[in-house]
Chain A
């Protein structure tokens, strides 16, 4: 085995995020195949693997969606290649249909690890689901590392387990692990040679007796419990005290720190192998403790497993956590929440220097800082146009939306009215539009971005065609996955040399809408008129709107010098304010000196879109 040095200094420590650590762990573990769909907070894992792919030789891809990613990874695993599949929490919902079959069929000799990154508090997500329930639903083993170092180490353990038992193995991260940086040991990578088998292993289906497969999976889980009993990644207490704190994931670190701030001596158990928590281990904890407190993010996942064994054993040990109301089920955990949960049971150390001094009246000084479309973002133009159309239709318009940068439309005069899962905009619009049979009089519009179109919109669009509903589908195509940092997708402008582009237009035309219009998004007046005419027409209409992501542009070229200005003599001032109040480009502000609009040159990208919205022609190009 030859040695390829990519980490800067061999056998030293380097600051890396949990996500980079996962990626390096995968390289060290010998993963040869990685598939993924971008989603915060998981994206950097795959980006890191892509960055190193020339050196490692690993096959790494952004797949069209998470289900295809998982299926593809399973295929490679069946042929003997160690495989990794990476996604965010909600992505696992998309892949779940396959996962709940793959668990029974089994993975191949290569093994298969899934890393799912949850987002408690939903910093960048539309829910804060606890994806650990998929480990339980699929009855597959689960690891929850607590630090970037553990993130690096865990991948090899998970892969080994998957190879031994031929089950997919899940690793759960959360935002605070994925996006935290800490020192992690770094060492040179070893190079691997992957040789696929030429044939599939036998029996990769669950029929005719899925229950037999299920039984076999349960038996494997029993054996895995034994392995987890003394697993090296768990930190069992060195000595037992009456009170035990059990923590998982980043909560391990919060609890360890909180323990420094209380007087009492307690024992601590940090569990990384959180499904299945071995019954033997639970039994030990119950036997040695009078009271156990559980700290985990989101659901009472480990707590529930303890409660089951406690009830089976009729244990007198008191169990405290989420079910006793001490630890919240929602939001993120932190040291303060741990201390708050312990308030009635433990004595805090007196440290006057660290007391917060509440100055409550200052809170009223704060104003919100809502997220907004970037200066010159063409999504703003689409929503501005939609709002105009809404007025022209006297409010008889419903707009269902989707997941991406353009989801900020919910904050833009509420012009996008729904936002659930990938592809659900066009799906829900189908149902609404069918109510025309019940004399629904409003026009139905749904919108989605380019990456989302490929990910999950196509079946619903086919359904709309098949059922012949009256609806307008807007595709906001900026040719990149902008939300997560410009990953490629089948229709993206930038492609790998070996990739072939798939045109959205070709797909849409082949479905056969009653009308198809391709239009640019910079001319707001034109966009409004065409949108209005299109929405009014009956039938299935698709507008492919060529859009521009300014961040993407900025990445590639320097902005020019400022050339958009307000002719103050023409600006109507207070009586108008249309450009700042309704259009709302962040590069337009209000000057209290001249009482007119004013362009902030350092933010303006000279897109020129605002010129047409000013009724007085006060916004001008120089």
Chain B
């Protein structure tokens, strides 16, 4: 394992960003590692950009991931994934991203234009080692679990085997943080088996 191993969750307030951080940190603790979570709420409840930094190592670290040292970027929203990537990604970063966009208010009012998701993906591909995109709505809508997007992405990460967090630790951590929830478990399993991106 790279020590520390750094995961950033990027999204919009209300997408379960903070919960995801807790799940990853709890899984790390189950693995006998030392997690540190850095988060900024405040804006989180009112539709702003939210990043959660999760750092996993054998000593306590500061809460913010240094530029370029990002291993996995979990992107809950395309443009926020790009924003985070421009700030933190390096050539080793693996991106797991939902392609479902949440347009900022300026897009409704037409003072801003949301960038084409394809352009976002191609920019990410230039910056990072690998970009795994998932049309999360098409996977989660059939099981009526749109709100489990964060769990789906964690499942994909677990399935790809790219983090020091084992599938079982993540499953148990989910149980610790969210309690028993069929939808979340289903979303996690769907993530594990997703290899479309």
Answer whether residue A363 sits at the interface, using C-beta atoms and an 8 A cutoff: yes
Tell me whether A354 and B68 are in contact (CB under 8 A). Answer: yes
Tell me whether B48 and A369 are in contact (CB under 8 A). Answer: yes
Tell me whether A367 and B113 are in contact (CB under 8 A). Answer: yes
Tell me whether A370 and B90 are in contact (CB under 8 A). Answer: no
Answer whether residue B184 sits at the interface, using C-beta atoms and an 8 A cutoff: no
Instruction: Count B-side interface residues using an 8 Å CB cutoff.
Output: 59
Tell me whether B108 and A588 are in contact (CB under 8 A). Answer: yes
For A149, what are the chain B residues with a Cβ–Cβ distance below 8 Å? 60
| Listed stretches B20-28, B163-171, B185-193; interface member | B20-28
For A586, what are the chain B residues with a Cβ–Cβ distance below 8 Å? 47, 105, 108
Interface size grouping (class) on chain A: 35 or more
Tell me whether A365 and B119 are in contact (CB under 8 A). Answer: yes
With A181-B37, A359-B127, A581-B110 known to touch, is A365 a contact of B89 (CB < 8 Å)?
Answer: no
Q: Count CB-based A-B contacts (< 8 Å).
A: 174
Complex Cα distance A303/B103, Å?
A: 45
Tell me whether A354 and B64 are in contact (CB under 8 A). Answer: no
Tell me whether B109 and A584 are in contact (CB under 8 A). Answer: yes
Of B69, B82, B106, most buried by chain A (CB within 10 Å of CB) is B69
Answer whether residue A267 sits at the interface, using C-beta atoms and an 8 A cutoff: no
1/0 contact string of B94-124 vs chain A (CB within 8 Å): 0000000001111111101111000110010
Answer whether residue B130 sits at the interface, using C-beta atoms and an 8 A cutoff: no
A550 to chain B, nearest CB (A): 11
Complex Cα distance A130/B69, Å?
A: 30
Which of A351-366 touch B at CB < 8 Å? Answer: 352-357, 359, 361-363, 365-366
With A365-B119, A366-B82, A369-B80 known to touch, is A182 a contact of B37 (CB < 8 Å)?
Answer: yes
Answer whether residue B42 sits at the interface, using C-beta atoms and an 8 A cutoff: yes
Tell me whether A590 and B42 are in contact (CB under 8 A). Answer: no
For B180, what are the chain A residues with a Cβ–Cβ distance below 8 Å? none
Question: What secondary structure prevails in chain B residues at the interface with A?
Answer: mixed
Query: Please, which residue of chain A has its CB at the minimum distance from the CB of B64?
Result: A334
1/0 contact string of A588-609 vs chain B (CB within 8 Å): 1110000000000010000000
With A250-B63, A335-B62 known to touch, is A354 a contact of B92 (CB < 8 Å)?
Answer: yes
Query: Please, which residue of chain B has its CB at the minimum distance from the CB of A579?
Result: B108
With A15-B37, A183-B34, A365-B82 known to touch, is A334 a contact of B108 (CB < 8 Å)?
Answer: no
Out of B22, B92, B108, name the residue touching A15 (CB < 8 Å).
B22
For A366, what are the chain B residues with a Cβ–Cβ distance below 8 Å? 79, 82-83, 86, 115
For B41, what are the chain A residues with a Cβ–Cβ distance below 8 Å? 40, 124, 179
For B80, what are the chain A residues with a Cβ–Cβ distance below 8 Å? 369
Answer whether residue B15 sits at the interface, using C-beta atoms and an 8 A cutoff: no
A567 to chain B, nearest CB (A): 19
Complex Cα distance A261/B4, Å?
A: 13
Answer whether residue A507 sits at the interface, using C-beta atoms and an 8 A cutoff: no
Query: Please, which residue of chain B has its CB at the minimum distance from the CB of A17?
Result: B37
Complex Cα distance A357/B67, Å?
A: 10
Complex Cα distance A580/B108, Å?
A: 6
Complex Cα distance A365/B112, Å?
A: 11
Complex Cα distance A17/B38, Å?
A: 9
Tell me whether A370 and B83 are in contact (CB under 8 A). Answer: no
Tell me whether A368 and B25 are in contact (CB under 8 A). Answer: no
Q: List 9 A-B contacts (CB under 8 A).
A: A15-B29, A181-B25, A181-B39, A182-B63, A357-B89, A365-B119, A577-B110, A584-B108, A602-B146
Give 12 new A-B contacts, CB below 8 A, not counting A179-B40, A365-B123.
A176-B62, A180-B38, A181-B21, A181-B39, A250-B63, A335-B62, A354-B69, A359-B126, A362-B127, A367-B112, A369-B80, A586-B47
What residues of chain B have their CB less than 8 Å away from a CB belonging to chain A?
12, 21-22, 25-26, 29, 34-43, 45-49, 60-64, 66-69, 79-80, 82-83, 86, 88-92, 103-110, 112-115, 119-120, 123, 126-128, 146
